[in-house]
Structure 1
Amino acid sequence: MTETDAPADSAAGPPRQAAKLTLLTLTAMVVGSMVGAGVFSLPRRFAQETGVAGALIAWAVAGTGMLMLAFVFQTLAVRRPDLDAGVYAYAKAGFGEYLGFFAAFGYWASACVGNVTYWVLIMSTIGAIWPALGDGDTLLAAVLSSFGVWGFYFLIRRGVKEAAAINRIVTVAKVVPILVFVILALFYLKVDVFADNFGGADYAGSLFDQVRGTMLATVFVFLGVEGASVYSRHAKRREDVGRATVLGFLSVFAVFASVTIVSYGILPMAEIAELRQPSMAGVLEAAVGTWGSVFVSVGLIVSVLGAYLAWTLMAAEVLFVAAKDDDMPRFLRRSNHADVPVPALLMTALLTQVVLFVTLFSENAFNFALDLTSALTLIPFLLAAAFALKIRVQPDSGTRGGRGTLREPAVAGLATLYTAFLLYAAGLKFVLVSFIIYAPATVLFVMARREQGRTVFSPSELVILAVSVAGAVLGLIALAAGWISL
């Protein structure tokens, strides 16, 4: 395979022929990205924090907030069609190159950490019949997962079109068992058990604390709502990006909320909270017997592999576009004749591999990777929502339609408040761990600036650098002193 870092209109090397994705394929990318490991872990994650009442409130808050965020991406796709790679591009256009770089790196890193949750959950699922894999956190599980990481790397190198086609097929295959779970759980629902679970168990705190405790889990399962926006440069029609975002979100939201609520009618929440992951399998087994656990486990493996494919594609795309915009080192802009950004894809596989082995030292590999994924994504989401609010108040030269409608600032404002609340809900632990990941990434930013012969940091960027380094140092001290743990 020959590789080139030349842009599409350059005379150097062959022209890039971007794959053109339809509305159906873009929607499948959104659904495929969102329906992954998270949905299969929802019963236990919610039961550890809250009962039915808290769950209903949590889904109302999360659903409204994420719908506002989906509308933000829909609006920005139309109002700023010149911006590719979604989250990263919006942060840069609104708040400068350094914060744009952090958004790109943070989004990419969250995708890599999220990919680790998929392998942990697959190994935990198989661990039910092969104890050596434990809960997906043993050395053997990490080694087998590593084979999967590099197997997908070589698959995706073959080309975007082939990978997108596989994702579309897998999306259909993985939604079916989840829908069957909801239908069977409704059929076997015990009204008295559901009623007992309504207010929460003795170990649950106040209603506010219960709702807050579920927030990172809801963020994780909704990651991917921006999938069509991230892949916008491949869209056949630009308006399909926004449509796919909203269609994908509404479809998946209904499924996620249903999976959580119906589980409370099968087992007492204290028992659900003790199930091994994937907890959906344990819930269905309690309802229909062993075959239910097997059915969900097979569906999980198909689902997770499909989500892993979609997230790896999106992660590499973000690095590639950032490099094309000179915000990442030039080596990341190279791609092969199949339109695959190979160096960016390689970095994605490498970080996934590193985090995979880090989880061996965590107290709960799956929960650690899930919560860290959510925390890393919050800053890019917050910047994107704030950018939508900014161009409504002060449109820039690239904004189509001037100030737009009155609906836009309300939506952008709610999305901004929601993502800010999520940072609070994440807690100091994951904010500090995020800084530990963000701060060293500045090396890539410095490399890019030096390649261009530019001043490395402006005065305002030095302030951002100081904050990120201080946060990283504090995070390392907290880990060393035992104030926080993985």
Structure 2
Amino acid sequence: MSSSQDSQQKNIGNKQLNLGRLIAIIVGSTIGSGIFSLSGDFAAKGASQGAVLIAWAICGVGMISLSLSFQELALRKPELTGGIYTYAEKGFGGYVGFNSAWGYWVSALLCNVSYATLLFAAIGYFFPVFGEGNNLISIVCASAFIWFINYLCLRGTKEAATVNIVVTFSKILPIFIFILAVIFVRAFDFGIFKQNFWGDGSMPVIEQIKATMVTTVWSFIGIEGAVAISGRAKKSSDIGKATVGGFLGIFIIYVLISVLSMGIMPRAELAELGNPSLAFIFEKAVGTWGAVLINLGVIISLVGATLGWTIIASEMPYVLGVNGKFDKVFAKENKKNAPANALFLTNGVIEMFLIITFFNASTYQIFYALSTSMILVPYLLSALYLLKICITGEAFEKSKSKNHAGVTIVALIATIYAVWLIYAGGMDYLLITSVLYAPGTIVYYRNRKKRNQIPFENNYEKVICGILVILAVISLVLIGKGTIKPF
């Protein structure tokens, strides 16, 4: 990356976000829908209690390593204020960096689509006309909601983040009430919890663990939110603090919810629950008011998560526009310092996916699985970049830190975890995501040609492009035959 680009990145955005607002964005975007459907999704995928606990242990080690990696990168490379995108570009070149940004952006779009679907499924508990959140009236109302969020974000990142603090507090309250109420009324039954602890033998434990990986990662998507909008942080040191602190608090809550739920209902019953499954679990524990409270919590939670993810998602085309990788029109800010055109582009694409949801009767789980698959490559590239600068010693050139070995181990664990996630996701999702990545190459190529730049800077970028195109073609053929179904 040129020095002029580095200079641009230092000045991206208006630095308005303090530590509290950064943490609220992380918690708001991370605790979205996953926590309210964890136990039902685990059970539906055949995961036993033992497999779920092992999965959380793997997730805990892997995600804390990724969180620490983001913290180290924020501390050692504070000039890279484009976050995930700039880490990949600085480490592996323009084409790889662009794909990282594209994947992260598409992941965020799909994330908000899944939120919109579950939001109206939760509202459907009170107003059955909304059904499972993917019928016509749900899509119309979801569209209105998405554009209302767009309006809030246009009023400025600081104002939107302040609203997010209030929403974050409001949605955490029902979760704590669930935990305390289940313990107080002694609804947790250890006999139920230990029943078929490793499953009934029909599915190997390793396969059970692999089946949980998408759900565990989905629950933590957003943990890097402070890194994604690092250009708007008042202090670069707050980015790492917000990321790691947010992770630890959220992880404890997730494990508690999972364990308590598996002691209230047997796995077979959990597997049959609708969305959000936590509402039905709490209803069994304390009665109807429990389901009402959780569904209200889901609604509040998804409003906050959608707001947080809209802030994060719109930052990608904005940063790419500032750095000349997208059209300059997306680098435009309004009088409130909000990335106006990037917001309209982001929510316009979300609108397109909402229409697809209606015509394909797609569910919340389908979109969150795709969103998770899209973000795995950006996660892997960030971990690899930290590992690279540890090996070369670049990470310690201007640092007084002597913990070279410790940081290298963290980067290595994060890299292995990201590779494991891609493997656990399976070939179908790898092929489907290649189709979603492919349009990014067209955008990248056209923009480079428009600026009279060589499309690919070296041979390995050409090889990566070739592999991506081949995978996308194979995927389209299999989709055409009905062998794999993306929606």
Residues in 2 aligned to 1:232 and 1:479: alpha-carbon distance in whole angstroms: 38
Matched AA of 2:390:
R
Q: Does 1:99 align with 2:96?
A: yes
Encode CA deviations 1:198-237: one digit per residue, 9 max, x unaligned. 22356x6111011100000011110111111111112222
Q: Is the 8 Å Cα contact of residues 316 and 345 (structure 1) preserved in structure 2?
A: yes
Show the counterpart of 2:148: 151
Q: Is the 8 Å Cα contact of residues 375 and 430 (structure 1) preserved in structure 2?
A: yes
Show the counterpart of 2:350: 352
Change (3 A) 1:26 1:111: same
Q: Which residue, 60, 63, 72 being the options, matches 1:66? A: 63
Q: Does 1:413 align with 2:412?
A: yes
Show the counterpart of 1:482: 482
Change (3 A) 1:363 1:152: closer
Q: Is the 8 Å Cα contact of residues 134 and 361 (structure 2) preserved in structure 1?
A: no
- Equivalent positions of 1:57-206 (< 5 A) are 57-186=54-183, 187-201=186-200, 205-206=203-204
Select between 215-224 and 316-325 the one with higher mean Cα deviation: 316-325
Show the counterpart of 2:446: 447
SS at match of 1:406: helix
Show the counterpart of 1:329: 327
SS at match of 1:335: coil
Q: Is the 8 Å Cα contact of residues 22 and 237 (structure 1) preserved in structure 2?
A: yes
Residues in 2 aligned to 1:455 and 1:323: alpha-carbon distance in whole angstroms: 18
Residues in 2 aligned to 1:374 and 1:429: alpha-carbon distance in whole angstroms: 13
Q: Is the 8 Å Cα contact of residues 390 and 396 (structure 2) preserved in structure 1?
A: no
SS at match of 2:426: helix
Q: Which residue, 208, 215, 218 being the options, matches 1:220? A: 218
Residues in 2 aligned to 1:188 and 1:328: alpha-carbon distance in whole angstroms: 54
Report deviation, 1:70.
0.3
Change (3 A) 1:421 1:331: same
Report deviation, 1:90.
0.5
Show the counterpart of 2:237: 239
The total of aligned residue pairs comes to: 475
Q: Is the 8 Å Cα contact of residues 391 and 399 (structure 1) preserved in structure 2?
A: no
Show the counterpart of 1:473: 473
Q: Is the 8 Å Cα contact of residues 111 and 371 (structure 2) preserved in structure 1?
A: yes
SS at match of 1:152: helix
Change (3 A) 1:40 1:128: same
SS at match of 1:336: coil
Report deviation, 1:96.
0.5
Encode CA deviations 1:450-476: one digit per residue, 9 max, x unaligned. 332211223332222211111111111
Q: Which residue, 369, 390, 400 being the options, matches 1:371? A: 369
TM-score by length of 1: 0.94
Query: In percent, how many aligned pairs have the same letter?
Result: 36
Matched AA of 2:460:
S
SS at match of 2:455: coil
Matched AA of 1:59:
W
Q: Is the 8 Å Cα contact of residues 37 and 278 (structure 2) preserved in structure 1?
A: yes
Q: Does 1:464 align with 2:461?
A: no
Q: Which residue, 294, 309, 312 being the options, matches 2:310? A: 312
Q: Does 1:340 align with 2:367?
A: no
SS at match of 1:443: helix
Show the counterpart of 2:48: 51
Residues in 2 aligned to 1:176 and 1:155: alpha-carbon distance in whole angstroms: 23
Report deviation, 1:20.
2.3
Change (3 A) 1:417 1:17: closer
Residues in 2 aligned to 1:406 and 1:452: alpha-carbon distance in whole angstroms: 42
Residues in 1 aligned to 2:379 and 2:199: alpha-carbon distance in whole angstroms: 31
Matched AA of 1:191:
F
Q: Is the 8 Å Cα contact of residues 201 and 270 (structure 1) preserved in structure 2?
A: no
Show the counterpart of 2:18: 22
Residues in 2 aligned to 1:281 and 1:340: alpha-carbon distance in whole angstroms: 36
Residues in 2 aligned to 1:167 and 1:367: alpha-carbon distance in whole angstroms: 25
Q: Does 1:298 align with 2:296?
A: yes
Q: Is the 8 Å Cα contact of residues 273 and 280 (structure 2) preserved in structure 1?
A: yes
Residues in 2 aligned to 1:380 and 1:358: alpha-carbon distance in whole angstroms: 25
Residues in 1 aligned to 2:37 and 2:176: alpha-carbon distance in whole angstroms: 15
TM-score by length of 2: 0.93
SS at match of 1:76: helix
Encode CA deviations 1:271-312: one digit per residue, 9 max, x unaligned. 111111000001001111111000000011111100110101
Report deviation, 1:399.
5.9
Report deviation, 1:84.
1.1
Q: Is the 8 Å Cα contact of residues 70 and 226 (structure 1) preserved in structure 2?
A: yes
Q: Is the 8 Å Cα contact of residues 389 and 413 (structure 1) preserved in structure 2?
A: yes
Unpaired runs of 5+ residues, structure 2, are none
RMSD of aligned Cα (Å): 2.1
Encode CA deviations 1:353-381: one digit per residue, 9 max, x unaligned. 12222223557511110100100000000
Select between 188-197 and 309-318 the one with higher mean Cα deviation: 188-197
Encode CA deviations 1:71-107: one digit per residue, 9 max, x unaligned. 0000000111110121111011111000100000100
Residues in 2 aligned to 1:285 and 1:138: alpha-carbon distance in whole angstroms: 26
Q: Is the 8 Å Cα contact of residues 12 and 322 (structure 2) preserved in structure 1?
A: no
